[in-house]
Amino acid sequence: MKKLIVLTILTLSALLAADLTGTWSASVVLDAGSGTATFAFKQTGETLTGTYTGQFGQSQVTGTVKGNSVEWSFENGQAGKVTYKGTLEAGTKIKGTVVYGEVGSGTFTAEKK
């Protein structure tokens, strides 16, 4: 009986796992100003890949998804290393903090399109 309960919990956890695959629009507020960014994500398990498109051009993104915690980053010639860390809310919104290398740090809210 205990094995059945554990198996059921694991199955439900897998079904409820976050899937960030798709296009996301992010509003970003930094020390230096504000702007928007678009991310096209593909999630495979806990691995996140994709592209960033925004004020600093386009870059390849890599990251991880663990439960509702999300982290991704990319290198950019103008800003340096850019790192986003956030929490997935209701499956279609991510809120968190961002460090734009030499440009500054701040917060972001991203919504799935």
Chain segment 49-69, per-residue pLDDT in tens: 999 999 999 999 999 999 999
Amino acid at 34: S
Residue 3 lies in a domain: no
User: Nearest 5°: CA angle at 70, between 42 and 81?
Assistant: 85
Domain extent at residue 59: 19-112
Say what the pLDDT of residue 5 is.
53
The reported pTM is 0.84
Count of domains in the chain? 1
User: pLDDT averaged over the chain?
Assistant: 89
Residue 61 lies in a domain: yes
Residue 14 lies in a domain: no
Amino acid at 49: T
CA-CA distance, 35 to 108, in Å (whole number)? Answer: 10
Residue 53 lies in a domain: yes
Distances (CA, A) of 81 to 12, 68, 72: 36, 23, 11
CATH number of the domain where residue 33 is located: 2.40.128.120
Residue 6 lies in a domain: no
Residue range 34-41: mean pLDDT, rounded: 97
